[in-house]
Amino acid sequence: MNHDLLIENVNVATMSGGDYGILMSHDVGVKDGRIVDLSPSNDPRASNLWLTPGLIDCHTHLVYAGNRANEFEARLAGDTYQQISQRGGGILSSVAATRAATITELVSSAQVRLNQLCREGVTTVEIKSGYGLDLESEGKMLGAARLLTGANIKRTLLAAHSIPSEFKGESDSYVDQICNIILPELAGECDAVDAFCEGIAFSPVQTQRVFDAAKQFGLAVKLHADQLSDLGGAGLAAENQALSADHLEYTSEESVRKMGDNGTVAVLLPGAFYFLRETKLPPVEQLRKHGVLMAVATDHNPGTSPCLSLLLCMNMASVLFGLSPLEALLGVTSHAARALGMQDEIGTIELGKRADFALYNIDHPRDLASRFGVNPCVGRYLGGVRQPD
């Protein structure tokens, strides 16, 4: 067959069938950006290289300005994330810096971060707005995300991230603004709509209003749910057929059951758990019991997870949350694709899927979760095109 690209004699972790789907010493053929051939290699030598689906970071806040390491210091001195938020720091501190930044500044700082993520084999990244909180600045953030290069970018509108200072004490009016102005104007600039359902952010009733507005524009929804307390956010997300509910440290079993019933993916974010020194673990055993697929993401953001290593997050998901190395790798491939509604396109190595791959110098795919502080990635392909290092 006439291929555009033939990757010869690699071990393949296809990640299909809910397993590593291992094919030792195979050739992988690509035509027009799609996988068209997977066949045993004629080369008699054993390969020491492993090809996996390109990794997917399905929850990030990669576009922002400013620096919040001062909040890290404050928390170590005894403040809580909520206290910092209530005195106008936290998300609102990033909002002030992001509103003041030009789109060019946002693109150049986010591009550096994206390159860092990609170095480990990431090929798809979801990026949320949410540090603009007005039409112009949310649009600027989504516009910046569109201009990034080197990975597939999925953009999520997170105007319901926090109540901006100009709406202090009038959160319902800000929700009106989101539903009537921001979301309708930016519906064409995003792939999904997210909200932060929490005591310091939006109530379940307000979240439902944002979801209803998103649905009017045919947009998928997802939710920052039950990160700091249980408001039933994950259950609400599931009832709305959300693609995912994310964080989930305080999620009840009732909500987990609803997630299982509705096929809502659980996106686990161990970087934020670690950095906030949270002690309440997400209900991993219940998620397994109710058949909820688990994804793992960096949640990269300046306040709660300034982490740019998806491999480290896999390791944290295993060490801190108890995911097996297989679950951790499914969490950044097949299940992460599902959290973005892209399971027909990416996330596994199967005929017809997009030729997005990562190439690793490892002994077995379990090494990707078991090591940390190491980058074994030696190649990356986007639509069958080898990417520069």
Using CA atoms, how far residue 137 sits from 111, 134, 152, 177, 221, in Å, is 18, 6, 22, 14, 21
Of 28-36, 167-175, 300-308, 367-375, the window that binds ligand NIG (rule: CB under 6 A) is 300-308
| C-alpha–C-alpha distance, residues 128 and 126, integer Å | 7
Q: Which of 194, 249, 278, 299 binds ligand NIG (CB under 6 A)?
A: 299
Rg over alpha carbons for the chain, rounded to the nearest Å, is 20
| Cβ partners under 8 Å of residue 375, min gap 6 | 119, 120, 311
Closest CA to 159 of 181, 146, 144, 150: 181
- Cα angle 279, 285, 289 (rounded to 5 degrees) comes to 155
x/- mask, ligand NIG, residues 67-106, rule CB under 6 A, reads -----------------------xx--x------------
Number of residues that bind Fe ion (CB under 5 A): 1
Pick the closer one to Fe ion by CB: 249 or 299.
Answer: 299
Tokens, residue 280: 């309440």
Closest CA to 132 of 100, 107, 156, 174: 100
x/- mask, ligand NIG, residues 192-231, rule CB under 6 A, reads ----x---------------------------x--x----
204, HSE (Cβ side, Cα atoms, 13 Å): 13
Pick the closer one to ligand NIG by CB: 90 or 347.
Answer: 90
What residues between 157 and 196 interact with ligand NIG by CB under 6 A?
196
Q: Which of 233, 303, 331, 384 binds ligand NIG (CB under 6 A)?
A: 303
With binding defined as CB under 6 A, does residue 304 bind ligand NIG?
yes
The secondary structure of 36-69, three-state, reads EEEEECCCCCCCCCEEEECEEECCCCCCCCCCCH
274-277 long-range contacts (CB < 8 A, ≥24 apart) are 274/305, 274/316, 274/320, 275/72, 275/304, 275/305, 275/306, 275/307, 276/75, 276/81, 276/304, 277/75
With binding defined as CB under 6 A, does residue 137 bind ligand NIG?
no
Minimal distance in Å, beta carbon 347 to ligand NIG?
A: 22
Choose the one of ligand NIG, Fe ion, none that binds residue 94, judging by a C-beta under 5 to 8 angstroms depending on kind.
ligand NIG
What residues between 274 and 303 interact with Fe ion by CB under 5 A?
299
Pick the closer one to ligand NIG by CB: 23 or 310.
Answer: 310
Minimal distance in Å, beta carbon 280 to ligand NIG?
A: 14
With binding defined as CB under 5 A, does residue 57 bind Fe ion?
no
Choose the one of ligand NIG, Fe ion, none that binds residue 271, judging by a C-beta under 5 to 8 angstroms depending on kind.
none
Pick the closer one to ligand NIG by CB: 167 or 274.
Answer: 274
Q: Which residues bind ligand NIG (CB under 6 A)?
A: 90-91, 94, 196, 224, 227, 272, 299, 301-304
